[in-house]
Chains A and B, each alone.
Chain A
Amino acid sequence: MSGLDPRVYDALARLPDYLGSHVLVSVSALALGLAVSLPLAILSIRRPFLRNALLAFVSTVQTIPGLALLALFYPLLLGLSALTGKLFGTGFSALGFLPAVLALALYSMLPVVRNTVTGILGIDPAVNEAALGVGMTRRQSLTMVELPLALPVIMAGIRTAAVWVIGTATLATPVGQTSLGNYIFTGLQTQNWIFVLFGCVAAAVLALAVDQLLSLVERGVSARRRGLVWLGAAGLVLILAASLWPSYVRPQATYIIGAKTFTEQYILEALIEERLRAAGLASRRRDGLGSTIIFDALKAGDIDLYVDYSGTLWTTQMKRTESKPREEVLAELKEWLAGQRIEMLGALGFENAYALAMSRKKAEALGIRSIADLARAAPRLSIAGDYEFFARPEWKALQAAYGLSFRAQRLVQPEFMYQAAANGEVDVISAYTSEGRIAQYDLVVLDDPAHAIPPYDAILLLAPGRVSDDKLVAALAPLVGAIDVKLMREANLRANGQGGDSSPEAIARWMWDKIGQKGN
């Protein structure tokens, strides 16, 4: 055992939390899905119009990618919560559990509805006729004949739904629902392949186990073997109990720290958590939140604090198109945020700006130093960006300021972009200025003489009402202005390493040491 990678122990330590949340959200979604699908399917069987409409609806839902479906539920619920807040004076949390359960329940409907309809319609009409002939009412025919005969087909649908829901629940992480997907998303961001593998295997094992236990129950019911039914049911209950027990005994967290989906955010989240713990405050993480979801979540109080970047809010929330100096952007932003009842506690000290970068060798060969130089060579070059970049105002501002037009334009996972630029797969990438890989791969960040891209100071934001929480503010105060870009780059670079000291927690402790040294 001593030879095992420390990341395996890290992964195991998180298992009770991730697995418990995963099982809870999957079971709730499946229960809700069944409670809706079965009655609807049964109701629609003798009504061809309703049946076709229902099947068309659930099939359409299935064509929406799981991640998109989950993401769509967040703004929907947020609007609904605002509405109930207005109507009844009380809203609800639109983040995490609720959108995940609703989206997954929708996702589970197709196999259940289709198999129930197919199973019941597939029964020999002579048997249906016999059921009526011996004097059964429609309801008796359904419960005593049609459902028992269709049971194997219906159960096959339920098993498919269970496997789908358990698998898709890994995608609930970006809407703030902790799941086994946290391993996968965190692992992808920090290039921790052991985490990615661990998450995939855990979800697969869970899905297989549930599928086999459900199959046991089904065989028991069909063959009238009570023992099998009890065995299967006991297995399911055992999984449920074992998964939910840890979260039942865990103390309730007071503060929820949010983080977006990249390494720097995980490190800062861990750093904040560490500070709160040192101050005796309990906290919980909401990892891997989408960039727009996270701001709404803070505004709604679903999370209590997180780190954002001034330029991001300047362009996406304030809808500003012009660029201004660093201090002015911060001042205007603070005032605007106050209007949203959000407190900007302060800037951490470094910028993580969008920038264009390319390999030093290629830049020198082409004589490119600034984006203005790049514009001339661009028609012969290719550019890669993260999933947001080409849709962001910064890109439009760059295009407008320099007249950029590339030969080809691609979307790439941020972690892979730097390497792609280094080995020449793409010529130019959208880089982050605090990214450690810039130095690691010997890339150069191109100057922006026209100041098309606004400044991106990392800023600590508190949810409405939290600013009056003195203990919280005091615990966070030492972080304000304490992290320069050199420290953050090195921290980010450490996260790319392998081994135990590349975990966000280890890096957070290392950073705090550094901050402490500087303070003294």
Chain B
Amino acid sequence: MPRAPIIELDDVSKTYGDARALDRVTLAVGTGEFLAVVGPSGSGKTTLLRLINRLAEPTSGHVRVQNEDVRLADPPALRRRIGYVFQGIGLFPHLTVAENVAITPRLIGRSREKRAARADELLQLVRLDPAQYRDRFPAALSGGERQRVGVARALAAEPKIVLMDEPFGALDALNRDAIGSDYRALHASLGLTSVMITHDLTEAVLLADRVVVVHQGRLIEEGTPRQLMTAPKAAYVRELIETPRRQAARLGALLKGGGP
């Protein structure tokens, strides 16, 4: 049964001067869905994400969030009800971990006590001990810890939608896997709708319900992870899945006891 759409992009194009970042993209994200957007750098995938919370405006076409055209919404208010996990760090270096996490609750006028309680609650949610972490500054955290704080901050104002821009790209493999599956669990338990940008197809197919592939500003393929891995249509996608497929076959063979 198709889920009711919560984010809709309707024939959206975005140009920067002469450069066309997005070319007539139409896409719907269902409520509760975990969508991964895959593409190489410069493909327009980050632009796609920024259009949803009005960090960028479309040159043509319409974007709707919760059935409302985003052009009618006040941008700060819109962004406060959409969680956003930034590429790289994105934490405020002059604020403590707890203050970073509780920044959006502060913007919507939550009291100091409520903010402190919420920050502790969220730190626990992303598996960071509040007593140990709440008063630290971002500079005193490891990459993995920072990204956990980034996820906690995105969730602080109880958003229904979370947008993530290469959230786990800068992490080592172990951290990446751990934080990725932790987030997947939060997605399910909190009933979120998540849109994740990544250049890594493996990460996309392992975490998402559905994957779309963007190439040179166009949406060239979409489907479930299984559809993508087994029956890719576009030539670029076939190329893209070659590596993970070969790795998987090799790993499978090793696990079965074959090979050297």
Contact = CB atoms under 8 A, between A and B. Distances in A.
A5 interface: no
B112 to A, nearest CB: 15
B3 interface: no
B84 interface: yes
Contacts of B76: 132, 135-137, 140
**Chain A interface SS verdict (over half):** helix
A133 B93 contact: no
B140 interface: no
Interface string A425-462: 00000000000000000000000000000000000000
B236 interface: no
Contacts of B89: 126
A92 B113 CA distance: 54
Given A126-B90, A127-B92, A148-B94, A135 B107 contact: yes
B55 A149 contact: no
B194 interface: no
Given A137-B76, A140-B107, A145 B92 contact: yes
Given A126-B89, A127-B90, A134 B79 contact: yes
Interface in B188-202: none
Nearest to A148: B94
A145 B93 CA distance: 9
A149 B90 contact: no
A134 B103 contact: yes
A130 interface: yes
A77 interface: no
Interface string A136-148: 1100100011001
A484 interface: no
Contact of B90 (A133, A135, A140, A148): A133
B53 interface: yes
B53 A130 contact: no
Contact residues on B (Cβ < 8 Å of other chain), bracket: 20 to 34
A131 interface: yes
B79 A135 contact: yes
B107 A134 contact: yes
A130 B79 contact: no
B80 interface: yes
B92 A130 contact: yes
Interface core residue of A129, A130, A133 (most chain B CB under 10 Å): A133
B94 A134 contact: no
A136 B80 CA distance: 8
A149 B53 CA distance: 25
Nearest to B53: A133
B86 A133 contact: yes
A126 B108 CA distance: 22
Interface string B99-137: 000011001100000000000000000000000000000
A134 B107 CA distance: 9
B77 interface: yes
Interface of A: 126-127, 129-137, 140, 144-145, 148-149
Given A132-B75, A145-B94, A148-B94, 17 more contacts: A127-B90, A127-B92, A130-B86, A130-B91, A130-B92, A132-B79, A133-B55, A134-B104, A134-B107, A134-B153, A135-B76, A135-B78, A135-B157, A137-B76, A145-B92, A149-B93, A149-B94
Among all A-B residue pairs, the 4 with the closest Cβ atoms: A135-B80, A135-B79, A130-B90, A133-B84
12 contacts: A129-B55, A129-B86, A130-B90, A132-B75, A133-B84, A134-B79, A134-B107, A135-B78, A135-B79, A135-B157, A149-B92, A149-B93
